[in-house]
Amino acid sequence: MNTIYLYHDNFISLLCLIDYLLKNKIKPDNIKDTSYNATLLDEVIFLKIKEDSNIINKIKKNYSYRIFKIMYEVYLSNHDNKELIIYYFFLNTLKYHQDVIYHRNLRCVNLALKIAKQVGNEAHKLKGFLRFKELKNHILYAEIAPDNNVIYLLALHFKRRLPHEYFIIKDKKRNIYSLYDKKEVYLISEDNFNLNEVETSQEEKQIADLWKNFYQTIGIKERKNERCRMNFMPKKYWQYIIEMEDEL
């Protein structure tokens, strides 16, 4: 039998569950969110634990901001066993405190660091590759389909960057939207949000064409280097980068 512990699909719930398991010296076979489809071999346990957002401050204070960030980034990843990785990373953090990040000889620590880095990298890349278009009502709208769940990180970035613009970012893979109303960033699932009108504004095509033309012009043909471009700008992102549409 596999003992699987469940948490509500949010980061605080997961941290509180892991904290509880560690305090009670319980070693789970896996940890999954409530959408998990149990098999015949699973024993599924859903504990009633008080969920307190203070746990985040505790981690930042007792260990470091970096430790919190690593856990959060792993949580945002698309790794199958991300919860278990956070569990073991947390376990080692109890032992080594903020120095845990130097123990790369431990598999779970190394894995957590690697995954966190991948998530951070993807978020950083998309800060550049995301393309807004202006809708008829002047709202900025962008679609992405990242490997990891980085939409919230992106929305926070654009909130700082364009504080006086309304924007909507859609994650097509996860069917979630991030909205910004010039005050706060909200995350909303498709079920609660209906966006049927994505008609772009009149000048949109003109500006996009101007940009595409600039993109074509700026490349130096004597230096053409397809492999180098692909390394920096992987093809999986091209579908949302408007200047690449024609090359797909």
Partner 1 sequence: MEIKEKLQILADSAKYDASCSSSGSKRQNAFGNTSFSGICHSFSADGRCISLLKILMTNCCIYDCKYCLNRKSNNVKRALFTPEEICSITLNFYRRNYIEGLFLSSGIIKNADYTMELMIKTIHLLRHKYHFGGYIHAKAIPNCSEVLLKKLGLLVDRLSANVELPTEQSLKLLAPNKETKKVENIMSYIKNNKSRKFTPAGQSTQMIIGATKENDLDIMQKSENMYQNYNLKRVFYSAYIPVNKDKLLPSLTTPPLVREHRLYQTDWLLRYYHFKTKDILDEEHPNLNLLLDPKAFWALNHLEEFPKEINTASYYDLLKVPGIGVKGARRIISSRQHFKITFKDLKAMGIVLKRAKYFITCNHKYFTNLSYFKKNFIEANLVLEDKIPPINSNKQLSFFE
Tell me 234's DSSP state. -
| Contact pick of 33, 198, 219, 236 for partner 1 (by CB under 8 A) | 219
Looking at the DSSP bridge assignments, the partners of residue 133 are 141
Nearest-approach distance from CB 80 to partner 1, in angstroms: 20
| Contact pick of 114, 190, 195, 201 for partner 1 (by CB under 8 A) | 114
**Binding track over 77-96 against partner 1, x by CB under 8 A:** -------------------x
**Closest of 33, 24, 101, 31 to residue 68, by C-alpha:** 101
20-79 residues in contact with partner 1 (CB under 8 A) are none
Nearest-approach distance from CB 205 to partner 1, in angstroms: 12
Is the Cβ of residue 48 or residue 221 nearer to partner 1 in the bound state?
221
* Binding status of residue 128 toward partner 1 by CB under 8 A: yes
Looking at the DSSP bridge assignments, the partners of residue 234 are none
Q: What is the CA 73 to chain-centroid distance, rounded?
A: 7
| Contact pick of 161, 172, 205, 236 for partner 1 (by CB under 8 A) | 161
Sign of the dihedral defined by the CA atoms of residues 127, 74, 98, 155, in that order:
positive
130-149 residues in contact with partner 1 (CB under 8 A) are 130-134, 140, 142
Looking at the DSSP bridge assignments, the partners of residue 7 are 33
Query: Is 147 in a helix, a strand, or coil?
Result: coil
Neighbours of 67 (CB within 10 A): 20
Is the Cβ of residue 56 or residue 241 nearer to partner 1 in the bound state?
241
- Please state the three-class secondary structure of 156-170 as a single string: HHHHHHCCCCCEEEE
Residues that bind partner 1 (CB under 8 A): 96, 99, 102-105, 107, 110, 114, 124, 127-134, 140, 142, 158, 160-165, 207-211, 213-215, 217-229, 231-233, 241, 243
